[in-house]
């Protein structure tokens, strides 16, 4: 499927990908575009020219209207875009005026949150991460809580504090209690951390009272983004019993600007980890429902010229699949809506250099991470930048998720 634009084989955004995002450029406000190579294809321009249906959907400042249009419409749009971008098609490539208006270099863009998220749920579905945390804070001989192998654990996050990649992350303040202190104190978090996750947007939702079955879950998924669910570990340690995280998580969650459609990722479906004990019937799914997506974490301190890779892992290691998460979320009859965001929880592999949080990489601060310039990190310091990237590798092409980055700035005075 060669594109008329020259795109290197290792570029994250080839014609096989076509992720959706919301951008502004050329003195025009936010609208919908697709990343292709080093350009963004302005879908409002193509729709205005009569090459795509439903102009209003693509002139919106979010993807919500497009997502709500349904799978048949997504497929029609994707097929049309691949046709227009094909090197054999001259409708776009041969029309200089239209091409100039529709294809905008990425350096001219400002990216925005792609979706106006109504509800956000964060899962806890990496077995190795749960084992690591349980070993550190509970019982190294029995690190998993009794429910963990039977259901995908989750909590409801805060949708209002979702930010797009590049937005600064202000260090939160809150109440903490040091182990040696008799009473809690108040101040900036001293144990600020990142969490490597993948999120997915709900496409077609469900009616209140009608669960989504695990075998139908794929039909309700629109696309994936990278997620950094920043975490204040010291706030969380003091507040989380008995109802779970609250202020430790509600101050910021960063997502990547490009939503990779599930259609682009179907060649990378693989079998997930063996689940033992077998899940209850409503969570039993005979499909290959994991995805082979390589993930990487880079850290750049204020004193470093370049970012340094501190971890690599893979999305296929997630124990509870997206299908199972969706089925479990709705089994009570809870209704999900187009544009709702669900996230995987921290993704950690079996080896230390594949852990998905600084909490694990520095083992609770006991084994500080050594950086190439001699600096050490137990938790994030002001000026630190965290960059998450991911891609699925095809035969001669790559489906990239882009990146999500954030820089820590000091707490308010």
Contact 377, 225 (CB under 8 A): no
| DSSP H or E segment with residue 238 | helix 233-239
Residue with tokens 């005979």: 286
Query: Are 173 and 187 in contact, with CB atoms under 8 Å apart?
Result: yes
| Sequence-ordered list of residues with C-beta below 8 angstroms from that of 51, at least 6 positions apart, any chain | 80, 84, 91, 92
Cα(163)–Cα(114) distance, integer angstroms: 10
Strands (DSSP E) contained in 26-131 are: 28-36, 39-42, 103-105, 110-112, 120-123
CA 277 to chain centre: 28
In sequence order, the 6+-apart residues with CB closer than 8 A to the CB of 288 are 269, 270, 271, 272
Taking a C-beta distance cutoff of 8 angstroms, is the pair 339, 63 a contact? yes
CA angle 332, 336, 341 (to 5 degrees): 120
Q: What does the alpha-carbon distance between residue 132 and residue 362 come to, in Å, rounded to a whole number?
A: 11
Strands 341-343 and 260-261: unpaired
Catalytic residue status for 129: yes
Where b means 16+ CB within 10 Å and e means fewer, 110-128 reads ebbbbbebebbbbbbbbbb
Q: 207: buried, middle or exposed (CB in 10 Å: 19+, 13-18, 0-12)?
A: exposed
Query: Is-contact 244 256, C-beta < 8 A?
Result: no
- Residues 333, 267: Cα–Cα separation, whole Å: 32
Return the CA Rg of the chain. 22
129, 220, 328, 329: the active-site residue: 129
**3-state class of 63 per DSSP?**
coil
- Whether residue 25 contacts residue 44, with contact meaning beta carbons closer than 8 Å, is answered with no
Which residues are the active-site residues? 129
């Amino acid at each position: 499927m060669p594109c008329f634009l020259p795109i290197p084989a290792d570029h994250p955004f080839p014609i096989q990908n076509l992720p959706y995002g919301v951008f502004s450029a050329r003195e025009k406000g936010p609208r919908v575009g697709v990343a292709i190579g080093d350009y963004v294809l302005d879908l409002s321009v193509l729709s205005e020219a009569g090459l795509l249906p439903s102009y209003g959907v693509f002139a919106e400042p979010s993807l919500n209207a497009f997502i709500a249009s349904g799978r048949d419409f997504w497929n029609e749009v994707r097929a049309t875009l691949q046709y227009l971008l094909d090197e054999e098609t001259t409708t776009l490539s041969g029309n200089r005026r239209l091409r100039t208006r529709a294809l905008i270099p990425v350096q001219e863009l400002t990216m925005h949150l792609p979706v106006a998220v109504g509800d956000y749920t964060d899962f806890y579905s990496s077995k190795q991460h749960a084992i690591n945390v349980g070993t550190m804070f509970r019982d190294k001989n029995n690190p998993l809580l009794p429910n963990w192998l039977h259901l995908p654990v989750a909590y409801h996050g805060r949708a209002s504090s979702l930010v797009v990649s590049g937005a600064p992350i202000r260090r939160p303040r809150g109440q903490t209690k040091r182990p040696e202190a008799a009473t809690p104190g108040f101040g900036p978090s001293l144990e600020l951390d990142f969490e490597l996750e993948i999120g997915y947007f709900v496409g077609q939702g469900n009616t209140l009272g009608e669960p989504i079955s695990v075998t139908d879950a794929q039909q309700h998924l629109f696309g994936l983004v990278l997620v950094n669910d920043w975490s204040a570990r010291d706030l969380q340690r003091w507040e989380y019993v008995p109802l779970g995280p609250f202020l430790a998580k509600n101050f910021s969650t960063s997502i990547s600007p490009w939503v990779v459609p599930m259609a682009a990722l179907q060649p990378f479906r693989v079998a997930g980890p063996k689940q033992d004990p077998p899940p209850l019937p409503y969570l039993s799914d005979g499909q290959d429902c994991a995805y082979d997506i390589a993930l990487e974490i880079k850290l750049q301190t204020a004193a470093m010229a370049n970012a340094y890779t501190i971890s690599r892992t893979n999305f296929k290691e997630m124990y509870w699949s997206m299908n199972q998460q969706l089925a479990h979320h709705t089994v009570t009859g809870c209704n999900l809506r187009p544009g709702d965001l669900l996230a995987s929880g921290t993704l950690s592999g079996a080896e230390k250099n594949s852990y998905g949080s600084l909490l694990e990489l520095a083992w609770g601060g006991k084994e500080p991470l050594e950086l190439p310039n001699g600096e050490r990190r137990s938790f994030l310091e002001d000026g630190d930048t965290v960059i998450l990237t991911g891609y699925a590798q095809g035969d001669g092409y790559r489906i990239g998720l882009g990146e999500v980055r954030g820089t820590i700035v000091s707490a308010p005075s």
